[in-house]
Structure 1
Amino acid sequence: MSRLSPRARRAVRLGAPALLAVVAALAVVIAAGRIDRLGPVDVTALHADRWWGDVDDAVGDALAGDQEVRVVRVVDGDTLLVRTDDGRERVRVLGIDTPETRKEGTPVQCFGPEATRSARRWVDEQRSRVTLARDDAAPDRDGFGRLLRYVRPTRGGRDLSTVQVSGGYARVAAYGQDLEELGALRRAERAARRADRGRWGAC
């Protein structure tokens, strides 16, 4: 047999991986044919763990995902009534606390009405369509059954927590939770305090 030229040897060397891949593919096809001849195989049992893992991941992603809703009413500066696919829900805005205006047995607090009006203006600017976003550091609901969510605009811009804190309508309130937006909200609060904005200059 004649010797291969250097160019031919290089072609064989480069083509060897592709040839091996073709052989491997043929082996899989042949093995599959043999499995068919052996009878039905319980594929569900073979891949049950992987299948259920995919289902769990999909459910988790759905729960963790943002949800676009319509605001039915602004209850006060940090609480909204919204309509979801499942009905109406009260939402407690994450990361902030505004002065009370509607708490039973508690008088209207300084700058509470202004905080409510600020929240209403922001919702009106969004044409009542907002996006609710969870924070892994916070529970799904508070002790009153309200959803705990960041309330964000659907078309970009500042979220309601930032607007309320920056304007001096709310104080930062994390209740011991390491919230994702905690650092940014604290910086906004410090700026509002230094400028005596809102409640920091009026109360």
Structure 2
Amino acid sequence: MKKLYTFTILSLLLGYLCIACQSQSDYIYGVKDEIYQNADENGPSRAEKERRWKEGFGYVTKVIDGDTFWIDNGSASFKVRFIGVDAPETRNSRWKEKGYYAQEAKEYVRTKTEHRWVRLEFDVQSADRYKRRLAYIYLEDGTFLNAALVAQGYAVVDTYPPNVKYVELFTELQNQARESKRGLWAKPTE
């Protein structure tokens, strides 16, 4: 009877270890990974982000200001700085002061991009000295966001060679915004 009892206990322990090992290997080999990925209620799964990244789209997780936001591509998160434009700063820094129309520019970008997909187009340089990715931004409906920011007066033209692909377009849009006194150009004179 003692041998049967010992055999039963050992069998149960061995069975438990096999189940535990199988469960652990499911996580290691990705069977349960899909459950983990889909558990993120704040956005798409990691697999979806990776798939869309291969198609040229990134998922915006946080807007910093009118020309910078965070992208998650499923395997990494990084800052993206819009090429060719400069929106007013939302807070004082060592180099720049908080600017007129900064909150409006940030809010415009936030409503268009935060927790949404955007397509990134790169130019000659892919990153700046601050390690931010540099890109032209397109919304899913095809809107060229960099151009829209300048056209509506949320940002000014600010190009740095060699990333000058759309400098003529941005300059023309800025001239139109200035003439129409849109956004930044509507600032009352003091």
Which 4+ residue blocks in structure 1 deviate beyond 3 angstroms? none
Query: 2:112 touches 2:139 (CA, 8 Å); kept in 1?
Result: no
Query: 2:83 touches 2:163 (CA, 8 Å); kept in 1?
Result: no
Q: Distance in 2 between matches of 1:86 and 1:148?
A: 18
Q: Distance in 2 between matches of 1:75 and 1:89?
A: 12
Listed as ranges, the gaps of 5+ residues in structure 1 are 1-64
SS at match of 1:149: strand
More deviation in 98-107 or 181-190? Answer: 98-107
2:113 maps to 1:120: no
Per the alignment, residue 131 of structure 1 pairs with: 119
Q: CA deviation at 1:98?
A: 0.7
TM-score scaled by length of structure 1: 0.61
Per the alignment, residue 94 of structure 1 pairs with: 83
Per the alignment, residue 6 of structure 1 pairs with: none
**What letter matches 2:103 in structure 1?**
P
Q: CA deviation at 1:155?
A: 3.3
- Percent identity, aligned pairs only, is 28
2:126 maps to 1:146: no
**What letter matches 1:100 in structure 2?**
E
* RMSD of aligned residue pairs (Cα, Å): 1.9
Per the alignment, residue 13 of structure 2 pairs with: none
Per the alignment, residue 195 of structure 1 pairs with: 180
**What letter matches 1:197 in structure 2?**
R
Q: Following superposition of structure 1 onto structure 2, how do residues 69-88 of structure 1 map, counting pairs within 5 Å? A: 69-88=58-77
Q: Distance in 2 between matches of 1:67 and 1:89?
A: 15
Per the alignment, residue 174 of structure 1 pairs with: 159
Q: CA deviation at 1:166?
A: 0.6
Q: CA deviation at 1:145?
A: 0.3
SS at match of 1:200: helix
Aligned residues: 134
Q: Distance in 1 between matches of 2:132 and 2:85?
A: 14
**CA displacement 1:102-140 (0-9 Å, x = unmatched):** 35244421111111111112215xx6111111113xx11
